[in-house]
Amino acid sequence: MWKWLHPYAKTERTYQLCQLLLPWFSVFGLFIIILATVWGLAFAPTDYQQSDAYRIIYVHVPTAVLSKSLYIAMAVAAFVGLVWQVKTSFMAMMAFAPVGATVTFVSLVTGAAWGKPMWGTWWEWDARLTSQLILLFLFLGVISLYKAFDDKQQAGKAAGVMAVVGIINLPIIHYSVEWWNTLHQGATIMKLDKPSMPPEMLWPLLLSILGWILVCGAISMLRLQNEILQRDLKRPWVVKLALNEHVWGDKK
């Protein structure tokens, strides 16, 4: 059943798959993210309570959603690497980690910039904000732990265990707004009931989530390629590939 996955344990195949998908993710992602941002900033109607400050939602929600999705992706990659000893998995884990750390950082900054005018404070040590900050530390922890080992197989195992254990933080983030009394509002779209938002505000939001997913997918694939190249730098297929590639400042 999982046989189709086996060739991708070979780094060269994974590299080629990324190379095939990269232009599509990059072009569509960039196009959609620009479209959604312009729509959200300039064309969506204003909010009767929050006025135009609510427009921060068009970067805050996509990054917050992605921070959790990227953590899951990283933890799944780590789990596959730990259980089946697939080295490409650990490379994928290390490709997701910086992307996840960046979007988590952005979600915290945009949250603070939204909290200041609406709640009157940049930061509050409440459940949602604190658990999201811990998510950022988990991403950074995985990256630093991996970099602390010279033997990359050992590094993958150590960082992988941390990534898998850290998944406990995800339900805490998700349910923090229900379990504790917090400043942060409850779910708007990710709930069973129908979304509590009018369509002319919801559409640019859904589009911007899609745009961020595609761009983060593109960056993750690019970083996975870099991990593979780094590891296989002296292998013949990389040498052949590199010699076909034009490099700036190279005398031919």
Partner 1 sequence: MYFDGFQSFLDMGGYGLYVWLSFGVSFLSLAWLWLDSFFSKKALFKNVHAEQARLARIKVASENSENNGVQV
Residues found near partner 1 in the complex (CB under 8 A): 37, 41-46, 51-53, 55-56, 59-60, 63, 98-99, 102, 105-106, 109-110, 113-114, 116-117, 215, 218-219, 222-223, 225-226, 229-230, 233-234, 238-239, 241-243, 245, 247-250
Nearest distance, CB of residue 162 and partner 1, angstroms? 22
Nearest distance, CB of residue 99 and partner 1, angstroms? 7
Q: Tell me phi and psi for residue 183, to 5 degrees.
A: -70, -30
Nearest distance, CB of residue 163 and partner 1, angstroms? 19
Look up residue 7 and give its DSSP letter: G
Give the nearer residue to partner 1 in terms of CB position, either 42 or 192. 42
- Distance, in Å, from the CA atom of 241 to the CA atom of 18, rounded to the nearest integer, reads 14
- 189 in Cβ contact with 202 (< 8 Å): yes
Give the nearer residue to partner 1 in terms of CB position, either 44 or 78. 44
Give the nearer residue to partner 1 in terms of CB position, either 3 or 251. 251
Nearest distance, CB of residue 242 and partner 1, angstroms? 4
Nearest distance, CB of residue 230 and partner 1, angstroms? 6
- Distance, in Å, from the CA atom of 233 to the CA atom of 227, rounded to the nearest integer, reads 10
Identify each DSSP E strand in 182-252 by its residue range: none
Distances (CA, A) of 176 to 45, 169, 180, 185, 251: 30, 10, 6, 10, 58
Q: Is 147 exposed, middle or buried (0-12, 13-18, 19+ CB in 10 A)?
A: exposed
Residue keyed to tokens 């909290």? 115
- 94 in Cβ contact with 227 (< 8 Å): yes
- 143 in Cβ contact with 94 (< 8 Å): yes
Give the nearer residue to partner 1 in terms of CB position, either 54 or 90. 54
Give the nearer residue to partner 1 in terms of CB position, either 114 or 146. 114
Give the nearer residue to partner 1 in terms of CB position, either 82 or 219. 219
Longest Cα–Cα distance in the chain: 65
Quickly list H helices, 149-252.
152-165, 169-179, 199-231, 236-244
Nearest distance, CB of residue 3 and partner 1, angstroms? 31
